[in-house]
Amino acid sequence: MKKVVIGMSGGVDSSVAAYLLQKEGYNVIGLFMRNWDSSINNDIQGNPDLKNDICPQEQDYNDALKVCEKLNIPLYRVDFIKEYWDYVFQYFLNELKKGRTPNPDVMCNKYIKFDLFKKEAKKLGADYIATGHYARIEDNKLLKGIDLNKDQTYFLALTSKQQLENVLFPVGNLNKQEVRTIASQLNLETALKKDSTGICFIGERNFKGFLKNYFPQKEGKIIDIETNQEIGLHSGLMYYTIGQRRGLNIGGNEDRLFVVGKDIENNVLFVAQGEDNKYLYSDLALITNINWLSDHKPINCHAKFRYRQQDIPVQLQYLDNGNIFVKYIKGKAVTPGQICVFYDGNECLGGGIIDEVYLNNQKINYL
């Protein structure tokens, strides 16, 4: 009997995934990861859970334990608190310092879930590892989950082909409602538990308050890029991303204001009026840190620049240094630091990090 070590998060997806594996005849072992400690990591400001009797990570462990007890599978736990800080959170902070918009969930998959976790699973004798991701692997190809609204291949695009070897995604062929229904029929503890949101393994936070734990607050000017007039003050450039309209706290404008650029050196935030203002648009992006999951490297394919964004047609220009220029028609709020993921139909081909953005061959100085 093949042994599968599944990452039990304390959520409904991994709970049902464990049951499905068991139903298929695997010897299933649960492994719970604890990657964040609020006291060790000075997670005080912006933390809504400080007054709770139990921290969310321990509640998640307790929920995972109850599910494993019901399914009669063992549950182990492992702490990657230091490694998560070193490989994921420091990256997150460093990118924010540069004025970019990082995606820590992608790095968590790359360095924690499909690296350290996999190594720990092998110590338990795993033939395979499994997670509750909405994705599929068929014929060594990473495919979108059946439930396109929950598809998580975007977050898996920077994992390597080797990391995805001997990996199972049991809920990838189901939609979310089917997963909930199975959990309810089994009367699992997690059946009605809401999906986790916020930063991977950290959870929901007041973003500005949370970052105050790690950055000194540094006010600066907000300037209307069209008029070059100062119209307000920002509380710190790292709190804002390109395309953002909420949280600017500026009234008296006929149209909504959107963040369209940052001047890190002079600590200035640039905004422009209107959802379709020209400063939000680009037609070319330089993508670095490329990771290919497929041997198929097309000239024409589709891509998405943010999770939940619609796939858009793109043309790829391969550079000698391994980077790629991605050409597209009028892309909105394509943001340095975010992940660009390439698709051929349902197949995720890989991706990289958005480094620079251009319009009409002119670099847009978002930063």
| Residues with catalytic roles | 108, 200
Beta bridge mates, 144: 135
Give the Cα separation of 362 and 201 in Å (integer). 39
CA 150 and chain centroid, separation:
13
Q: Regarding beta strands 3-7 and 128-130, do their DSSP bridges make them parallel or antiparallel, or are they unpaired?
A: parallel
Residues in the chain: 367
41, with CB counted inside 10 A (0-12, 13-18, 19+), is middle
Give the Cα separation of 195 and 289 in Å (integer). 30
326 and 311 in contact (C-beta within 8 Å)? no
145, with CB counted inside 10 A (0-12, 13-18, 19+), is buried
118 and 124 in contact (C-beta within 8 Å)? no
Token digits of residue 208 = 């500005």
8, with CB counted inside 10 A (0-12, 13-18, 19+), is buried
CA 83 and chain centroid, separation:
17
- Which among 73, 84, 103, 92 is positioned nearest to 7, based on CA atoms? 73
Place of tokens 């499909």: 114
- Which among 28, 27, 35 is positioned nearest to 9, based on CA atoms? 35
